[in-house]
A and B are shown apart, each in its own frame.
Chain A
Amino acid sequence: MKVLVTVTLKKDVLDPQGKVVRQTLKNMGYNEIENVRQGKYFEIGLNVNDKNKAEKIVQEICNKLLVNTIIENYTINYKE
């Protein structure tokens, strides 16, 4: 099973990298860009067939290592 985890900064957390990317895009002439928030993306190969078990493991690793839940949100997608 393949698991895709996307980690994004929470709404109120300052994202200086995203700001710089947005400014650069503006400098390049893309005036339509309103804002950019930069995040992280993980592709995880999982040796588990049972979806419930997979969910339990992925939730755990997100909370324990992949995500700092004080400042970050995450979404999980499972692909068979």
Chain B
Amino acid sequence: MKSSVIVFPGSNCDRDIAVALEKFQIKNQMVWHDEINLPKSDLVVLPGGFSYGDYLRTGAIASKSKIINDVIKHGKNGGLILGICNGFQILIEIGLLPGVLLRNKKLRFLSKNVFLKVINIKNNFCSEYIKKDIIQLPIAHNEGNYFGNNNLIQKLEDNNLIAFKYCDKQGLIEENSNPNGSSNNIAGILNKEKNILGMMPHPERLIDPLLSGEDGSILFKSLLKS
């Protein structure tokens, strides 16, 4: 499997995701945002960070980068795209995923571990979570409050396009386990074709049993099986 990680000015999780991909024998290439041609890839990753210092709106400037035309083409042709944190914000600004990410409800930058329930395992990113559907991953964001009108949220629920929801240790999805105010505790969503995933939590930070745990590894193992 071949992947490309798009690097923007202000990306800061690009190296972490590259280390994670390589750990799982995914042949990765770093691609600068100013390139026009995307190298042949099965997976494109938009990494976390603060592209363009979050100017205008998070992800707004990055979504107009030169490489994005090819990223859109890749997605429309069924290629896999994973957007993590700022990458999720960029996917939304591009319009590849619906809705919007607002500022956290309590206005604080959140950096902590949260529990997540894997809601949809029938996609290329999450299939291996069949063995473990309550996981813990770190979040680190200021604008992760997923918002959509009632129609959109209902559509996401009805079509099973929500990949992850914030929950408590037991897997209970309720207001108390919602760190940022997201509609229906949404932490990650898929597009209709399920080849594009955007998520606020950072799976690339949990790939080592000695340092952190392996709840993130499962996502990369799922990708390998896709």
Q: Which residues of A line the B interface, CB within 8 A?
A: 13-14, 16-17, 20, 65-66, 68, 70-71
A-B contact pairs, 7 of them (CB 8 A): A14-B145, A16-B103, A16-B104, A68-B93, A70-B99, A70-B100, A71-B147
A13 touches B102 (CB 8 A): yes
Give residues 77-105 of B contacting A (CB, 8 Å).
93, 99-100, 102-105
Return the contact of B105 from the options A16, A65, A66, A71 (Cβ within 8 A).
A16
Return the contact of B100 from the options A17, A65, A66, A68 (Cβ within 8 A).
A68
B103 touches A17 (CB 8 A): yes
Q: Which residues of B contact A65 (CB under 8 A)?
A: 56, 60, 64
A13 touches B147 (CB 8 A): yes
What distance in Å separates the Cβ of B100 from its nearest Cβ neighbour in chain A? 5
Q: Which residues of B contact A14 (CB under 8 A)?
A: 102, 105, 145, 147, 181
B194 contacts chain A at the CB level, 8 A cutoff: no
A68 touches B57 (CB 8 A): yes
Bound form: Cα–Cα A71–B56 in Å: 14
Interface size on B, as a range, is 10 to 19
Q: Which residues of A contact B56 (CB under 8 A)?
A: 65-66
Q: Which residues of A contact B93 (CB under 8 A)?
A: 68
B107 contacts chain A at the CB level, 8 A cutoff: yes
List 17 additional contacts besides A13-B102, A16-B103; criterion CB under 8 Å.
Answer: A13-B147, A14-B105, A14-B145, A14-B181, A16-B104, A16-B105, A16-B107, A17-B107, A20-B107, A65-B56, A65-B60, A65-B64, A68-B60, A68-B93, A68-B100, A70-B99, A71-B102
What distance in Å separates the Cβ of A58 from its nearest Cβ neighbour in chain B? 16
Q: Which residues of B contact A16 (CB under 8 A)?
A: 103-107
Q: Which residues of B contact A17 (CB under 8 A)?
A: 103, 107
Q: Which residues of A contact B64 (CB under 8 A)?
A: 65
Q: Which residues of A contact B104 (CB under 8 A)?
A: 16
Bound form: Cα–Cα A66–B60 in Å: 9
What distance in Å separates the Cβ of B210 from its nearest Cβ neighbour in chain A? 39
Bound form: Cα–Cα A13–B56 in Å: 17
B100 touches A71 (CB 8 A): yes
Bound form: Cα–Cα A14–B102 in Å: 9
What distance in Å separates the Cβ of A41 from its nearest Cβ neighbour in chain B? 13
Q: Name the residue of chain B whose CB is nearest to the CB of A69.
A: B100
Contact with A along B175-215 (1 / 0, CB 8 A): 00000010000000000000000000000000000000000
Q: Which residues of B contact A70 (CB under 8 A)?
A: 99-100
Q: Name the residue of chain B whose CB is nearest to the CB of A67.
A: B57
Q: Which residues of B contact A71 (CB under 8 A)?
A: 100, 102, 147
Q: Which residues of A contact B105 (CB under 8 A)?
A: 14, 16
Q: Which residues of B contact A13 (CB under 8 A)?
A: 102, 147
The 5 tightest CB contacts between A and B, nearest first, are: A16-B107, A70-B100, A71-B100, A16-B103, A68-B57
Bound form: Cα–Cα A13–B102 in Å: 9
